[in-house]
Amino acid sequence: MNSKILKALVPLPCLAATAVQALPIYQSNEVTLYMEGYFTAHMVNTMGATQMQNGASRIRIGLNVPAYDKWDTGFNLEWGINAISSAQNLIIQGDQQAAPGDRGESLYLRQGHAFAKHPKWGDFVIGKQWSVYYDVTYITDWYNVSGGLASGTYALGTDGGVSGTGRADSAITWRKAWKFDAGEFQVGLQYANHVADLNISVEDVAGPNTLLVCPPGDCEYGQSQGFSAVYRANIGKGLFLGVSYNRVQMDIASNNGIVLNTALNGEPLVISNDFVFDADSNDWTAAFGVYYGEGAYEKGWYAALVLDRSQNNELAPAGSVEGITNFFDAKGSESFISYTWGANNCYSIYGGHNLLRSDDNEFDRALIRENEFRLKQIYLGAQYRWNDRVKLYFENAFDSSNDVAAPVVGNFTAVGFRVDI
């Protein structure tokens, strides 16, 4: 064999890696303005088609302002970028999720918040930000293409903003960590009083051939609260234990419910606008997480598991049930395992699973097909870190979900790259 070809088959060398730092734009004694983010894209073969897809590309601008008595203040603004095609459908899930109204935008807001941090009093953050719930569920959200489907984080097919479980909307958070010889213990609290309308319509509630519609402003997501507790123990390579909980009040009540007659040809006819109903409920989810290792894609083994239990925090595809809302109670689990080696941690293999199943008898009985919602994916991938800011990856998903979950998941094979700022 030609020696030039032999040389071409040798694995690419690992370039010297250094700690990734934010890129300073302006720095003085009073402020530091910096930029972070990355560009990523992948070629994906799924559902019989191959296409280039947007990854979770983003850019973040931050300002740090040292204040009196060790206070550090400032703000962060982060935008998601659909750089490959702004009109492309979102097939891959997880951290690539945007709010429904942002999915066709080339540039959309991922985070926007102000902060004040103090070594004694903790970290206060106000605005759209990573939730305290994510302080636990992030440990399995390390896949390059998919993942994050079964922990309750990206609830209702969104970025978890309305529910407060992912990139929480209009949230106030406080986090405080205490370090001691055996490790570190951290708690987080979260509150949000934002309002998001629920577009609810239910058939045959007011009689045959009728449709009950909740008027705008009456059915909504209301107050939410979140909590997390994390312990990082100095055991071996590092042991993490964490629990988190999030609850949202769902106000589904009105004295002005609109009842439509759907038996007529053409447009439904309003027959009442004062129908009284009250179906208030709660959307809550709880998670437990554990991992061992230095971190995902760090040298040696990293193994993480998240278990989730939720009520009204998952949403089945439209048209999959009869007579009730698509919200359902669920149990979920996620895992992520990586092994990394090489002089500069260049080579990684990784894998794991996402499993989400309905745990709601009323919902299961109302399914048109199947007797439960079951989303199940197994992942297997490899990553090559060319240097500390450039990496290449290959990822497969082997899907065995049932027909109810099929519209939102599927098998895929992806090859992609990521370049950090």
35-44, 188-197, 286-295, 401-410: range with highest mean pLDDT? 286-295
Residue-level pLDDT at 93: 56
* pLDDT (tens digit per residue) in 350-405: 999 999 999 999 899 989 888 999 999 999 999 999 988 999 999 999 999 999 98
Q: How confident is the model at residue 4 (pLDDT cuts 50, 70, 90)?
A: very low
Whether the per-residue pLDDT at 9 is higher than 50: the answer is no
| Residue bearing the bigger pLDDT, 62 or 410 | 62
> Tokens for 94?
């997880």
Q: Torsions phi, psi of 6, nearest 5?
A: -55, -45
Neighbours of 48 (CB within 10 A): 7
Integer CA distances (angstroms), 40 to 62, 91, 109, 378, 389, in order: 21, 16, 17, 22, 12
Q: Report the C-alpha gap between 312 and 315 in whole angstroms.
A: 8
Whether the per-residue pLDDT at 247 is higher than 60: the answer is yes
Domain range annotation of the chain: 128-420
* pLDDT (tens digit per residue) in 92-147: 556 666 665 555 677 889 999 999 999 999 999 999 999 999 999 999 999 999 99
Integer CA distances (angstroms), 311 to 180, 284, 299, 358, 368, in order: 36, 5, 38, 10, 21
Residue-level pLDDT at 262: 81
Which SS3 state, helix, strand or coil, does residue 302 take?
A: strand
Residue with tokens 């609810």: 200
Q: Report the C-alpha gap between 41 and 273 in whole angstroms.
A: 49
Residue with tokens 């999915």: 103
Residue 61 corresponds to which amino acid?
I
Residue 338 corresponds to which amino acid?
S
Residue-level pLDDT at 30: 86
Residue of 400, 371, 355, 389 lying closest to 150 (CA atoms): 355
CA dihedral 200, 160, 98, 46 (to 10 degrees): -90
The answer to whether 252 and 198 have CB atoms below 8 angstroms apart is yes
CA 121 to the chain's CA centroid: 28
Q: Report the C-alpha gap between 270 and 215 in whole angstroms.
A: 13
Residue-level pLDDT at 222: 82
Q: Report the C-alpha gap between 258 and 112 in whole angstroms.
A: 37
Q: How confident is the model at residue 196 (pLDDT cuts 50, 70, 90)?
A: confident
Q: Report the C-alpha gap between 415 and 139 in whole angstroms.
A: 23
Classify residue 384 by burial, with Cβ atoms within 10 Å: 0-12, 13-18, 19+.
middle
Classify residue 217 by burial, with Cβ atoms within 10 Å: 0-12, 13-18, 19+.
exposed
The mean pLDDT value for 286-296 works out to 97
Neighbours of 240 (CB within 10 A): 19
The mean pLDDT value for 232-236 works out to 95
Q: How confident is the model at residue 267 (pLDDT cuts 50, 70, 90)?
A: confident
Q: Is the dihedral of CA 76, 77, 83, 85 positive or negative?
A: positive
| Residue bearing the bigger pLDDT, 78 or 108 | 78
Whether the per-residue pLDDT at 171 is higher than 80: the answer is yes
Q: Which CATH superfamily is domain 128-420 in?
A: Porin (2.40.160.10)
Query: For the chain, what is the mean pLDDT?
Result: 87
The mean pLDDT value for 320-336 works out to 86
Whether the per-residue pLDDT at 10 is higher than 60: the answer is no
